[in-house]
A and B are shown apart, each in its own frame.
Chain A
Amino acid sequence: MKNNTSRYLATPYIIWIVGFIVIPLLTIVYYGFTDRNNTFTLNNIAQILVWENYRPLYRAMILSAVCTAICFLLAFPLTMILRSLKVGRSSLIVFVFILPMWMNSLLRVLAWQTLLERKGVINGILTALHLPEQHLINTTAAVLIGMVYDFLPFMILPLFNALMKIDDNTINAAYDLGASYWQTLTKIILPLSVPGIVSGVTMVFVPALTTFAISNMLGGGKIYLIGNVIEQEFMQDSDWNEGSGLSLVLMIFVIVSMLIVNHFDDKSDMRKGGVI
Chain B
Amino acid sequence: MRLDKVIGALDKAHRNRFVIGVASFVTVAGISAVAVGCGTTEKDIEELPTPVEDTLYVYNAGEYIDPEIIDMFEEETGINVVYDVFETLEEMYPVIEAGGVIYDCVCPSDYMIEKMIHNNLLQEVNYDNIPNIKYIGDDYLKMAAEFDPGNKYAVPYTWGTVGILYNTGMLDKLGIPYPTKWSDLWNPALKNEILMQDSVRDAFMVALKKNGYSCNTENPEELDAAMKDLIDQKPIVQAYVIDQVRDKMIGEEAAVGIIYSGEILYVQDELEGTDVNVEYAIPEEGTNLWIDAWVIPKNARNKEYAEQWINFLCRPDVAAKNFEYITYPTPNTGALELLDEEYLENKAVFPDTKELLRTSEFYHYLGPEGDALYNNRWKTVKSS
Binding site for B on A (CB under 8 A): 20, 24-25, 27-28, 31, 36, 51-53, 55-56, 104-107, 110, 113, 117-119, 135, 137-138, 206-207, 210-213, 216-217, 220-222, 224, 227-232, 234-240, 243-244, 246-248, 250-251, 254
Contact with A along B225-267 (1 / 0, CB 8 A): 0000000001001111100000000011110000000000000
Pairs across A and B, CB under 8 Å, 23 listed: A24-B35, A106-B19, A106-B23, A107-B10, A135-B192, A213-B25, A216-B3, A220-B239, A220-B240, A221-B240, A222-B239, A224-B382, A231-B4, A231-B33, A232-B378, A235-B3, A236-B5, A237-B371, A244-B30, A244-B34, A250-B28, A250-B30, A254-B28
Nearest neighbor of B377 in chain A, beta-carbon distance: A52
Q: Which of A20, A138, A207 contacts B25 (CB 8 A)?
A: A207
Q: A207-B25, A213-B3, A235-B88 are in contact. List 20 more A-B contacts (CB 8 A).
A: A20-B35, A52-B376, A104-B23, A117-B251, A206-B26, A212-B3, A221-B198, A221-B240, A227-B29, A231-B3, A231-B4, A235-B1, A235-B5, A235-B90, A236-B5, A236-B199, A238-B90, A247-B30, A247-B31, A254-B28
Asked if residues A138 and B31 are in contact (CB atoms below 8 Å), the reply is no
Asked if residues B383 and A51 are in contact (CB atoms below 8 Å), the reply is yes
Nearest neighbor of B384 in chain A, beta-carbon distance: A55
B321 contacts chain A at the CB level, 8 A cutoff: no
The prevalent SS among residues of A at the interface is helix
Q: Which residues of B sit under 8 angstroms from A232, Cβ to Cβ?
A: 375, 378-379, 382
Q: Which of A113, A119, A217, A228 contacts B382 (CB 8 A)?
A: A228
Contact with A along B357-384 (1 / 0, CB 8 A): 0000000000010011001101110111
Identify the 8 closest CB pairs spanning chains A and B, nearest first: A220-B239, A247-B30, A221-B240, A234-B33, A52-B379, A224-B382, A213-B22, A237-B375
CA distance A113 to B28 in the complex (A): 24
B200 contacts chain A at the CB level, 8 A cutoff: yes
B2 contacts chain A at the CB level, 8 A cutoff: yes
CA distance A229 to B198 in the complex (A): 13
Nearest neighbor of A104 in chain B, beta-carbon distance: B23
Nearest neighbor of B91 in chain A, beta-carbon distance: A235
CA distance A118 to B19 in the complex (A): 25
CA distance A206 to B26 in the complex (A): 8
Distance to closest chain B CB from A49 (angstroms):
14
B61 contacts chain A at the CB level, 8 A cutoff: no
Asked if residues A251 and B28 are in contact (CB atoms below 8 Å), the reply is yes
Q: A232-B379, A235-B4 are in contact. Are A119 and B252 (CB under 8 A)?
A: yes
CA distance A155 to B192 in the complex (A): 35
Asked if residues A229 and B253 are in contact (CB atoms below 8 Å), the reply is no
Q: Which residues of B sit under 8 angstroms from A20, Cβ to Cβ?
A: 35
Q: A28-B34, A230-B33 are in contact. Are A222 and B237 (CB under 8 A)?
A: yes
Q: Which residues of A sit under 8 angstroms from B29, Cβ to Cβ?
A: 210, 212, 227, 230-231, 247, 250
Number of interface residues of B (CB under 8 A): 50
CA distance A55 to B2 in the complex (A): 22
Q: A106-B10, A228-B382 are in contact. Are A25 and B238 (CB under 8 A)?
A: no
Q: Which of B30, B241, B383 contacts A243 (CB 8 A)?
A: B30
Most B CB atoms within 10 A — which of A53, A106, A216, A230? A216
Q: Which residues of B sit under 8 angstroms from A239, Cβ to Cβ?
A: 375
Q: Which residues of B sit under 8 angstroms from A250, Cβ to Cβ?
A: 28-30
CA distance A238 to B88 in the complex (A): 12
CA distance A91 to B149 in the complex (A): 72
Asked if residues B31 and A28 are in contact (CB atoms below 8 Å), the reply is yes
Most B CB atoms within 10 A — which of A224, A234, A240, A251? A234
Q: Which of B6, B199, B372 contacts A216 (CB 8 A)?
A: B6
Distance to closest chain B CB from A199 (angstroms):
14
Asked if residues B239 and A119 are in contact (CB atoms below 8 Å), the reply is no
CA distance A221 to B203 in the complex (A): 13
Q: Which residues of B sit under 8 angstroms from A113, Cβ to Cβ?
A: 8
Q: Which residues of A sit under 8 angstroms from B254, Cβ to Cβ?
A: 118
Asked if residues B383 and A224 are in contact (CB atoms below 8 Å), the reply is yes
B318 contacts chain A at the CB level, 8 A cutoff: no
B95 contacts chain A at the CB level, 8 A cutoff: no
Distance to closest chain B CB from A245 (angstroms):
9
Asked if residues A216 and B379 are in contact (CB atoms below 8 Å), the reply is no
